[in-house]
Amino acid sequence: MAVDMDNRDLDNPALDRTLVRLDDLFVRSYYGKDLESLWGKVLDASFVFMDGADGRTVQRPEFDKGCLAQPPFRNLVHDQVATRIEGDTAVVTARNRYERLIDGKWVAFSTRYVDVFRRVGGEWRCFFATVYKVA
C-alpha cells in the first residue's frame, strides 16, 4: 500500500509516523475484514462511524456487519495522507483508490476519509471516522 505523507502541520515527526502507521493498519484491517486488529489495536470502545453518503451514524455492531459484508476489492492505493495534532487529539485524512467487484464487474472507487484519534494512557485510538466518495 503506497503512503504519501504530508507533514506540514506537525511539530513531532515521530508522532506523525505513529499515527500514519496506525491509520494504515485501520485501512488494511477494514478492507481485510480483520475485526480483531480493528478493535484490538485501532478503534476506541466509543467508536462511531458516519456514512458520508447519507450522514447516518453507526456504532460497533452495524460497523462490524458492514465491514464483514463488503464486496471483494483489489488494487488499493492509500495516499494523500495528512495529519493534524492538537494536544491529545489528532485528525488523519487520506484518499483511498480501489476497485470493487459489483455484479460481476470491477468498478473503480475513490474515497476520502477523516479519522479522529485521541491519546489515552499514551496510546492513540480512533473514536470517530467518516468516509465519502470523491471524483
pLDDT digits (tens, 9 = 90+) for 62-107: 999 999 998 888 888 888 888 889 999 999 998 989 999 999 999 9
Q: Cell 476520502 maps to which residue?
A: 112
CA-CA distance, 80 to 2, in Å (whole number)? 10
pLDDT in tens, 4-17: 334 443 444 545 78
Residue 20: the pLDDT is 87
CATH 3.10.450.50 fits 5-133, yes or no: yes
Task: Domain ranges for the chain, please list them.
Answer: 5-133
Structural contact between residues 77 and 2, judged by C-beta atoms closer than 8 angstroms:
yes
42/83: higher pLDDT: 42
Span 47-67, pLDDT tens digits: 999 998 899 999 999 999 999
